[in-house]
Amino acid sequence: MQDGALLDAREEQAYRLLVGLSVARAAELAEVAELPQQEVVELLQRLQAKGLVAVLPGDDDPVFRPLPPDVALGTTLLRRQESLESARQTVASLSEEFRASASRRDAHHLVEVIVGAGALRDRLRDLQESAREEILWFCRANPLAMQGAENTEEYGALSRGVRYRAIYERALLETPGELDTIAEGISWGEEARTLPHLPVRLAIVDRATAVCPLVRDDEAGIGEPTAAIIGRGQLLDALLALFESHWEAATPVKLQPDEAEDGEGLDGSERFLLSLMVAGVPDKSIASQLGISRRTVQRRLDRMMALAGVDTRTGLAYQAAMRKWL
């Protein structure tokens, strides 16, 4: 049997044949399988031990019938899943203890330098898979190592209850396809905000480890990208304070999949449009992202201004904040 397999190849073949026959004696199954009867008897006994086969009562020559596999094997699968999750948590815990111990032993362990887009991408994936509480992101335009659509580890972390807070640079919102990826993350529970510009690229995991590129964007094309992996210390505290100050100043990005109106008369698409307008995204880009005309964008903004009782977009942004539309 292959490692981790619930059934070996011969057991699976015997079970499939028995399902096709509905019921069968060992001799009948052996004939169909073109196997010696004694080997089929042993296979049926193994399947019976795994809860996949039952013996009908009242016959000297036993008659076998198949049982549902989801009932028989579901518990085994659940136990394996629990065991894998326990192993993942153990590895994450041991890794954290190792890094903490190394940091105490030697100060240079507080900052580790990695080189290359592949190495940076792998480290970002590993850190997200080990996250237990919160991940913070500064997402600038033109990512160095990982496009938003490639970051599938985010969905796994969100499903484990990890909180994601991401601030997106405005230019990234205007990049074709990026809003779809951001909307997908928000639908999984990500909290997204936006600012016109961000000072650095940054990821912070569980307030214990930060990843920050070392090369300026205007020098990114020279050689391989490099990044610092920063452990607990005053430098990490400064990066956390930097993130929180920008988070407070950032504009929420509201992407609601339904079209239901709220108590103020706004539907989901209008909240989306409003969040982009407040973020400073031009009408042309909003129209492109929403798949509508610029005239339609202006008409919807006019409707929201009338609803808010103002006649300027600045007044609309103020009222949106006061009325908690965003």
Q: Is 9-67's fold the same as 268-322's? A: yes
Q: Tell me which H or E stretch contains 136.
A: strand 134-139
Chain center to CA of 264: 32
Confidence of residue 191 (pLDDT cuts 50, 70, 90): very high
Checking if the pLDDT of 325 tops 60, the result is yes
Q: What is the pLDDT of residue 261?
A: 45
71 vs 124, higher pLDDT: 124
Q: Tell me which H or E stretch contains 65.
A: strand 63-66
DSSP calls for 154-209 = HHHHHHTT-EEEEEEEHHHHTSTTHHHHHHHHHHHT-EEEEES--SS-EEEETTTE
Can you give the pTM of this predicted structure?
Answer: 0.55
For residue 9, CA distances in Å to 70, 289, 317 come to: 18, 51, 65
| Contact status, residue 168 vs residue 192, Cβ threshold 8 Å | yes
Confidence of residue 137 (pLDDT cuts 50, 70, 90): very high
Checking if the pLDDT of 316 tops 50, the result is yes
Q: Which residues pair with 169 in a beta bridge?
A: 195
Whole-angstrom distance, CA of residue 31 vs CA of residue 45:
17
Closest CA relative to residue 239, chosen from 202, 282, 186, 281: 202
Pick the CATH number of 106-252 from 3.90.1170.50, 3.40.50.1700, 3.40.50.920, 3.30.870.10: 3.30.870.10
Structure tokens at 270: 């209008």
Q: What is the pLDDT of residue 88?
A: 77
- How much of the chain, in percent, has pLDDT values that exceed 90? 13
Most confident stretch, 10-14, 182-186, 198-202: 198-202
Where are the extended beta strands (E) located within 241-297?
251-252
Q: What is the pLDDT of residue 110?
A: 72
* Per-residue pLDDT tens digits for 283-303: 887 887 777 888 988 889 988
Token look-up 């085994």 returns: 76
Q: Which residues pair with 11 in a beta bridge?
A: none
Sheet holding 63-66: strands in order across?
A: 24-25, 63-66, 53-56
Domain boundaries, the chain: 9-67, 106-252, 268-322
Confidence of residue 2 (pLDDT cuts 50, 70, 90): very low
For residue 56, CA distances in Å to 12, 14, 60, 67, 69 come to: 21, 17, 10, 12, 18
Which fold would CATH assign to domain 268-322? Answer: Arc Repressor Mutant, subunit A (1.10.10)
| Contact status, residue 145 vs residue 225, Cβ threshold 8 Å | yes
User: What is the gyration radius of the CA atoms in the chain, in angstroms?
Assistant: 29
Token look-up 């994450």 returns: 92
| Contact status, residue 123 vs residue 153, Cβ threshold 8 Å | no
Checking if the pLDDT of 251 tops 60, the result is yes
* Per-residue pLDDT tens digits for 264-281: 667 767 887 888 888 788
* Per-residue pLDDT tens digits for 216-235: 665 555 567 888 899 888 88
- How much of the chain, in percent, has pLDDT values that exceed 70? 87
Q: What is the pLDDT of residue 132?
A: 92
Average pLDDT over residues 91-105: 68
Q: What is the pLDDT of residue 41?
A: 87
Q: What is the pLDDT of residue 100?
A: 65
Token look-up 């509480």 returns: 133
Whole-angstrom distance, CA of residue 314 vs CA of residue 325:
14
Q: Tell me which H or E stretch contains 24.
A: strand 24-25
Cβ-based neighbour number of residue 251 at 10 Å: 23
* Per-residue pLDDT tens digits for 25-61: 888 888 888 889 888 888 888 888 888 888 887 667 8
Q: CA 249, 254, 256 angle in degrees (round to 5)?
A: 170
Which fold would CATH assign to domain 9-67? Answer: Arc Repressor Mutant, subunit A (1.10.10)
Closest CA relative to residue 193, chosen from 243, 251, 244, 135: 251
